[in-house]
Amino acid sequence: MSSKEYFRIGVICGIHGLDGCLKVHIITDFPQRFSGDIPVYVNIRGHYKAFTIAGFTFAAKRIGYMYLDGIQDVTAANAIKGCELFVDSTDACIDLDADSFHYSAIIGCAVYYNNTDFGTVVDILQTGAADTLVIRTHEGIEHLIPFVASMVGTGRLHEHILEIFPIEGLIE
């Protein structure tokens, strides 16, 4: 395992054609990460392999078609289908708005509800209107909480803590 920190930007969800074109589900809010200016890393069974983007085209809002140097046929493309795409955090320097966060800053945070340790953020789902936090309690129960200011307090994020204020019935 590498000591580098990576930001997830997409998932290779399929192949397109026979020439190594990859269908990518985009999860970054910064599409310029697919410009080919910086290397992307494919997580292949726990190992990060660097690739250069040889071409990229948007197909829909969160779908794109990508060519990677070294992936030139359907066999090579199928070998990395299902793998996640990352960028090195040192290459990912993009200024965020005051109310924006990298997923890596949120996932793993302790979650407090009514001043009590409630659980941990284990994932973030993109649901359209707002991202949704997947919070696993200490008992192993998962809850989905919309990541909106009225329900999630980020004032203690520097301590790696989020506070939740869910509407009635959301976690009962």
Assigned architecture for domain 6-88: Beta Barrel (2.40)
Where do you find CATH 2.30.30.240 in the chain? Answer: 103-164
Mean of pLDDT values over 122-134: 84
Portion of the chain with pLDDT greater than 70, in percent: 91
CA 63/CA 41 separation, integer angstroms: 18
Average of pLDDT values for 9-14? 92
- Residue 70's pLDDT band, with cuts at 50, 70 and 90, is very high
**Strand ranges (DSSP E) for 17-151?**
21-26, 40-44, 47-51, 53-60, 63-68, 84-88, 110-113, 116-126, 131-137, 142-146
Q: Considering the domain 103-164 in this protein, what is its CATH number?
A: 2.30.30.240
pTM over 0.75: no
Maximum average pLDDT range among 101-105, 111-115, 167-171: 111-115
Q: Where in the chain is the domain with CATH 2.40.30.60?
A: 6-88
Instruction: Supply the pLDDT for residue 115.
Output: 92
Per DSSP, the three-state class of 98 is: coil
Dump pLDDT digits (tens) for 136-160. 999 999 999 999 989 999 888 889 9
